[in-house]
């Protein structure tokens, strides 16, 4: 099982167990307060509880929305890279036949290496090796294209081919950086910590009943644990259960069109 899946599951399970325990502890604290001072036990606490739960809701909305946005951006970047590589491949027709055939071969190897980078994840070491290979192919493609443009000095090759190759190279950096953009870890720590605090407050709030409401106790903890798990999985696609492999088919289709 992938490392991130294990970590996410451990966080979710730990959060679930912790919230259930804190809800029970909070209920016992609430019962003691009610027994000691029934009238003042809940006076003025509703406002504080509401503020803390509102903060938790805001934090969930912030982290989930950010993770979903970055997930969509990463999928869009796959499409942009496929378009950039396809455009560059087509514009190789502007070169002479002998140079065109060599560069086409390099470009086919390049897209294979690019697909391999993300196919190998979460094996970071293997993915890094494939990324280095694609960077070397990038340099070779660019050098040969520039040399051909300077030697032949044909305007179409200079004006159309080189900008297309430049865009193909730029999108590589953009995709690499996009995989590394995440909220600071303190945000996730705050989310889990605030969830536990809300579990304690919820337990205190349920102290008025004569019996435990296991539906509410277990349900609240389960909902929060699943929510945090999905946020983590969405934030780190390709390393958990949520994948963007379907979008990679765009690159596969471009590779198949390179005859």
pLDDT digits over 82-124, tens only? 999 999 999 888 877 777 888 999 999 999 999 999 888 778 8
> Is the per-residue pLDDT at 254 higher than 80?
yes
Domain ranges for the chain, please list them: 3-257
Lowest mean pLDDT among 31-45, 167-181, 191-205: 31-45
Residue 234, token pair as written in the block: 């969405």
Nearest to 80 by CA among 255, 247, 238: 247
Residue 22, token pair as written in the block: 């804190």
ω into 152 cis (within 30 of 0): no
pLDDT of residue 65: 95
Mean pLDDT of 28-42: 73
pLDDT of residue 213: 85
Q: What percent of the chain has pLDDT over 70?
A: 90
Q: For residue 152, name the pLDDT band (cuts at 50, 70, 90).
A: low
Mean pLDDT of 72-84: 93
Q: What percent of the chain has pLDDT over 90?
A: 51
Q: Regarding predicted confidence, which is higher, 247 or 155?
A: 247
> Is the per-residue pLDDT at 43 higher than 70?
no
Number of C-alpha atoms within 13 angstroms, CB side, residue 196?
14
pTM recorded for the entire structure: 0.82
CA angle 126, 132, 137 (to 5 degrees): 130
pLDDT of residue 191: 95
Q: For residue 1, name the pLDDT band (cuts at 50, 70, 90).
A: very low
Nearest to 172 by CA among 221, 223, 213, 114: 114
Nearest to 253 by CA among 54, 95, 111: 111
> Is the per-residue pLDDT at 125 higher than 90?
no
> Is the per-residue pLDDT at 127 higher than 90?
no
Tell me the C-alpha distance between 230 and 240, whole Å: 10
């Amino acid at each position: 099982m992938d490392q991130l899946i294990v970590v996410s599951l451990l966080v979710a399970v730990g959060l679930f167990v912790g919230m259930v325990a804190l809800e029970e502890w909070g209920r016992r604290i609430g019962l003691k307060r009610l027994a000691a001072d029934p009238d003042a036990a809940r006076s003025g606490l509703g406002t504080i509880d509401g503020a803390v739960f509102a903060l938790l809701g805001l934090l969930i909305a912030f982290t989930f929305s950010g993770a979903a946005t970055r997930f969509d951006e990463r999928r869009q970047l796959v499409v942009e890279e496929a378009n950039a590589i396809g455009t560059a491949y087509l514009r190789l027709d502007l070169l002479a036949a002998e140079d065109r055939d060599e560069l086409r071969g390099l470009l086919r190897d390049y897209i294979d290496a690019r697909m391999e980078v993300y196919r190998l994840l979460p094996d970071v070491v293997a993915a890094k090796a494939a990324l280095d290979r694609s960077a070397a192919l990038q340099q070779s493609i660019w050098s040969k294209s520039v040399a051909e443009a300077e030697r032949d000095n044909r305007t179409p090759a200079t004006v159309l081919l080189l900008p297309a190759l430049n865009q193909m190279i730029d999108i590589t950096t953009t995709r690499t950086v996009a995989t590394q953009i995440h909220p600071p870890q303190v945000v996730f720590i705050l989310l889990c910590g605030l969830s536990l605090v809300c579990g304690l407050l919820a337990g205190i709030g349920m102290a008025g009943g004569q019996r435990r409401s296991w539906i509410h106790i277990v349900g609240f903890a389960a909902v929060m644990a699943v929510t945090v798990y999905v946020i983590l999985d969405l934030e780190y696609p390709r390393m958990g259960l949520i994948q963007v492999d379907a979008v990679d088919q765009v690159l596969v289709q471009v590779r198949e069109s390179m005859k």
